[in-house]
Chains A and B, each alone.
Chain A
Amino acid sequence: SQTIHQWPATLVQPVGSPLSLECTVEGTSNPNLYWYRQAAGRGLQLLFYSVGIGQISSEVPQNLSASRPQDRQFILSSKKLLLSDSGFYLCAWSVIGPHRVANTEAFFGQGTRLTVV
């Protein structure tokens, strides 16, 4: 069965420090991968998605970047954190059906709660 691992679970970082959050998926090949952020207002904002190794699409301009060095690994990074980067970060994966039809649900990791101080 497929599983998704995301770490760390919680992180407290000072302003201006770098960030690296990692997400890996097991039990599937060539998944679509996503990074979402949930701020205090509860809404889920899509930050990045990837349809393949080295292919990253950014949804919103920001202080963050993403990389996909391997098929089932997705990394969220920042060179210098801002206070506004605080939030709950969720990694997710899904598969695309035949003929590139996006007909499946996304499965989420357990999230990383980031507090920038």
Chain B
Amino acid sequence: AQKVTQAQTEISVVEKEDVTLDCVYETRDTTYYLFWYKQPPSGELVFLIRRNSFDEQNEISGRYSWNFQKSTSSFNFTITASQVVDSAVYFCALSEVYNQGGKLIFGQGTELSVKP
């Protein structure tokens, strides 16, 4: 069965600190996709990144970076020099490629609070 675990329920940092959000997943499939979404206070989920199971290269986008390690089934998300606008709930999600319907399975989310 597929499962996504985000063990950190809440994280609080001071602006300009770096912060890493952990994500561990379980799947029996060898082909799958991993995602990160951001949910600001407005509630809408904003897509951040998609990564397939065959691509373990780390990715950097501005202050955001992602570390995918298949050996530990982890897909961690780091925000460098955090800002108040980064405050949100962040979700990690998994989709098995040949699953019917392309449904995403989400973790419980990590609430990040960045204080000025």
List chain A positions with a Cβ less than 8 A from chain B: 32, 34, 36, 41-44, 46, 49-51, 57, 59, 88, 90, 92, 94-96, 100-111, 113
A46 in contact with B104 (CB, 8 Å): yes
Chain B residues near A95 (CB, 8 Å)? 102
CB 8 Å contact bits of B36-47 with A (1 = contact, 0 = none): 010000111101
What's the count of A-B pairs with C-beta under 8 Å?
A: 72
**B102 to A, closest residue via Cβ:** A102
B89 in contact with A102 (CB, 8 Å): no
- B37-94: which residues lie under 8 A (CB-CB) from chain A? 37, 42-45, 47, 50, 52, 89, 91
B43 in contact with A110 (CB, 8 Å): yes
Contact size class for B?
Answer: 20 to 34
State which of B33, B44, B89 has its C-beta within 8 Å of the C-beta of A111: B44
Distance in angstroms between the alpha carbons of A90 and B50 in the assembled complex: 20
B106 in contact with A43 (CB, 8 Å): yes
A34 in contact with B106 (CB, 8 Å): no
State which of A32, A44, A104 has its C-beta within 8 Å of the C-beta of B101: A32
A-B contact pairs, 20 of them (CB 8 A): A34-B101, A36-B106, A41-B108, A42-B89, A42-B108, A42-B111, A44-B91, A51-B101, A57-B101, A94-B102, A100-B98, A101-B97, A102-B101, A102-B102, A103-B97, A105-B35, A105-B50, A106-B47, A106-B102, A110-B42
